[in-house]
Chains A and B, each alone.
Chain A
């Protein structure tokens, strides 16, 4: 994460965060999520995306609000075909020089973060999709 790159500035589960644009397939308007009976942990359900079922993340997996009640405003579709329900988008930013800082140990999102990015006097978490997928796979195994 040391090289400069474009990051999507988004908000989900009540928290602003950054996501490398290179990890995104596309961003689409949110639609209601269909829950799966006895579905896996960390997945709130699926939506139909380009004719296929797309799993949608349940932010409850990292202590956030599951947000099942209302459809997400926006859905960020990751390259490994996982939908991230977002509350909103603030735009894109370029990674400032200086690299990322470690998130604090008590941060519930720590297992899915690449680090913290200093931006306009605030530390924003940078999501690491690989870590997120690894977490989901771990949860499936322990079920």
Chain B
């Protein structure tokens, strides 16, 4: 693929993000002007996608985007009502385009029809929106405006005037006189303010036959009432507000007509009279090649190293008058960390973005398969690198399809087993050590291990007569070409997928594990390494080395009057906990005189009665710190170490608490064995 198109691909990805946000807005009740703004944005998005696909040389994608653009055009003209099923179809269409784009980027050929899965629905929508025989309804004549101004309205503006009047919303006119030098900025500002109060239908230039200087404009705003102060019009701009059209003048026979020109407001009168909902803002997106951010980070790191050297040199001078410069060095350090964090944030997106992509797919599958499902997400606030998000979407969609197709039973089958008819699918994200962990749990039938075993033997992957563990059999489901479905279903079971999921996850340096219990459900666990993260730590010292302990695993920090030794037990708040020194965990020499501090660690997410708590002995507790964590590359992996952070006095190693707890248990067992 031509690298010069990288920016185009990136822009397409951004457009899909925006489209999903706009569709999400349409899913909840909104005032008509918010609905209209979202539909307009979606229309523009699909229009842009169409052009970009043409530029990239994908004519079929361009055609599919054009078809979606047509649907949004029908919506914005008020010819299609915004209903749940319409939004679902649109979501499916956008999802299909997005998946198609991902495949194209991987070098796959164009499919015949990107929108084949929703072809029938799209045909129905187009038929529904087609004007009936005879004249198209036009209510612009109800506007209290001279004929030459009415003629200036575009076809789209006419359909909007008609739609809002049919929906019972009055149209207000806002007339202003703007200075020639600043009229463009002022008009934009006033238009935005008017658009926030209602639907801005048109901005018409006016020709005034008087002696006043300046340019005159008339804004047509669909809203029950305008707050003139909120428009931000200056006194010299001669603001005038007038009622241009009253929906009560619409003939009753037309109001009763539920024809195709009706606007899509949910409870229009009430919604429009409510305070305006916040419109999703069109935020300017700055696109940068990732290498530039890399280079900036590297440069920043060099600056940090120079700062560290300067700090060390200053400390070596031992001059009291240098206290102020030393304090300034601390301020520079804090500033550098802030910039590093900001740079990191540029690369990160919330896991919520991934969940947003999955949710519509689950709902559509659930409906199509007749399997009601209760979907829940957890951990959406966690962050992952943007580059991973794009790569994770397809594997996730496949896993979700599998869970619904093979995992969850039909409602009848569930009822017969004494289960709730509605199945459950829980998707959670959590940070475990240096990994971001995703769990997909369903309460369905679980993997059919007997069938997997039989299939494995038939494929020559297993030997007949041998005992195969459940772990081995689950793992087999991830082998290339392995599928127990004898006939491919429409949804999954085509013999491709799980191995592709595994390859994709392993390609990201991650790992996938499967487990299940018959009739109780399945768990698919993905672990992905985080290369960088900002993490809050407790600083502890052991010998000459300082370590960071992630605070989300720290239950308690305590000192002891008597010296503590690894291998003992200690009572903390009435609980008897095993105690091990951090040095013993990491294979470092233990202090002969024992230790005076300990940190109680708990497995993340574990309840007090279920999880393992452990007292970790340290020489000193040096406070709390927020730091930029960098993972260790695989060649440098060390047990118990999650990564490191460059600090003033060198690298601070950050412990992987779960791994340290494992090392502590190993060490304790060795002590017992030695005894």
A117 at the interface (CB under 8 A from B): no
A78 to B646, CA, bound (A): 23
Contact A46 B644 (CB under 8 A): yes
Q: Which of A37, A39, A40, A45 counts the most B-chain CB atoms under 10 A from its CB? A: A37
Looking at the complex, which one of B297, B587, B633 makes contact with A53 (CB distance below 8 Å)? B633
Q: Which of B636, B638, B640, B650 counts the most A-chain CB atoms under 10 A from its CB? A: B636
Contact B630 A53 (CB under 8 A): yes
Render B271-309 as a binary contact track against A, CB cut-off 8 A, 1 for contact.
Answer: 000000000000000000000001001101100010000
The chain A residue sitting closest to B646, CB to CB, is: A48
A36 at the interface (CB under 8 A from B): yes
Looking at the complex, which one of A38, A50, A52, A140 makes contact with B633 (CB distance below 8 Å)? A52
- CB B659 to nearest CB in A, in angstroms, measures 11
Contact A48 B305 (CB under 8 A): yes
Residues of chain A at interface, number, CB under 8 A: 21
Q: Which of B531, B631, B633 counts the most A-chain CB atoms under 10 A from its CB? A: B633
- CB B534 to nearest CB in A, in angstroms, measures 15
Residues in chain B near residue A52, CB distance under 8 A: 531, 630, 633
Residues in chain A near residue B635, CB distance under 8 A: 40, 43, 55, 81-82, 133, 136
Render B603-641 as a binary contact track against A, CB cut-off 8 A, 1 for contact.
Answer: 000000000000000000000000000111101111111
Residues in chain B near residue A81, CB distance under 8 A: 633, 635
Looking at the complex, which one of B301, B305, B636 makes contact with A40 (CB distance below 8 Å)? B636
Residues in chain A near residue B298, CB distance under 8 A: 50-51
The chain A residue sitting closest to B635, CB to CB, is: A55
B597 at the interface (CB under 8 A from A): no
Contact B644 A53 (CB under 8 A): yes
A85 to B651, CA, bound (A): 19
Contact A34 B650 (CB under 8 A): yes
Residues in chain A near residue B305, CB distance under 8 A: 48
Contact A54 B587 (CB under 8 A): no
Q: Which of A48, A81, A136 counts the most B-chain CB atoms under 10 A from its CB? A: A48
Contact A40 B637 (CB under 8 A): yes
- CB A88 to nearest CB in B, in angstroms, measures 24
Render B513-555 as a binary contact track against A, CB cut-off 8 A, 1 for contact.
Answer: 0000000000000000001000000000000010000000000
The chain B residue sitting closest to A52, CB to CB, is: B630
Looking at the complex, which one of A38, A48, A140 makes contact with B587 (CB distance below 8 Å)? A38
The chain B residue sitting closest to A54, CB to CB, is: B633
Residues in chain B near residue A37, CB distance under 8 A: 545, 586-588, 638, 640-641, 653
A133 to B634, CA, bound (A): 11
Residues in chain A near residue B637, CB distance under 8 A: 40, 140
Contact A46 B653 (CB under 8 A): no
A115 to B51, CA, bound (A): 56
- CB A71 to nearest CB in B, in angstroms, measures 14
Looking at the complex, which one of B588, B632, B639, B640 makes contact with A46 (CB distance below 8 Å)? B632
Contact A38 B586 (CB under 8 A): yes
- CB B181 to nearest CB in A, in angstroms, measures 48
Residues in chain A near residue B632, CB distance under 8 A: 36, 46, 53, 55
- CB B349 to nearest CB in A, in angstroms, measures 20
Take A38-B586, A38-B587, A53-B632 as given contacts and tell me if A48 and B641 are in contact as well, using a CB distance cutoff of 8 Å: no
Contact A38 B638 (CB under 8 A): yes
A46 to B633, CA, bound (A): 10
- CB B567 to nearest CB in A, in angstroms, measures 19
Looking at the complex, which one of B631, B641, B651 makes contact with A38 (CB distance below 8 Å)? B641
Give residues of chain A (75-89) contacting chain B, Cβ–Cβ below 8 Å: 81-82
Take A39-B638, A53-B633 as given contacts and tell me if A46 and B651 are in contact as well, using a CB distance cutoff of 8 Å: yes
* A/B interface sample: 19 pairs, CB < 8 A: A37-B545, A37-B586, A37-B638, A38-B638, A43-B635, A45-B636, A48-B646, A51-B294, A51-B298, A51-B300, A51-B630, A52-B630, A53-B631, A53-B636, A55-B632, A55-B633, A55-B635, A81-B635, A133-B635
The 6 A-B pairs at the shortest CB distance, nearest first, are namely: A55-B636, A51-B297, A55-B635, A50-B298, A51-B298, A38-B586
Instruction: Using CB atoms and an 8 Å cutoff, list the residues of chain A in contact with chain B.
Output: 34, 36-40, 43, 45-46, 48, 50-55, 81-82, 133, 136, 140
Q: A38-B641, A40-B635 are in contact. List 20 more A-B contacts (CB 8 A).
A: A34-B651, A36-B632, A36-B636, A37-B641, A37-B653, A38-B586, A38-B587, A38-B639, A38-B640, A40-B636, A46-B632, A46-B636, A46-B644, A50-B294, A52-B633, A53-B631, A53-B632, A54-B633, A55-B633, A140-B637
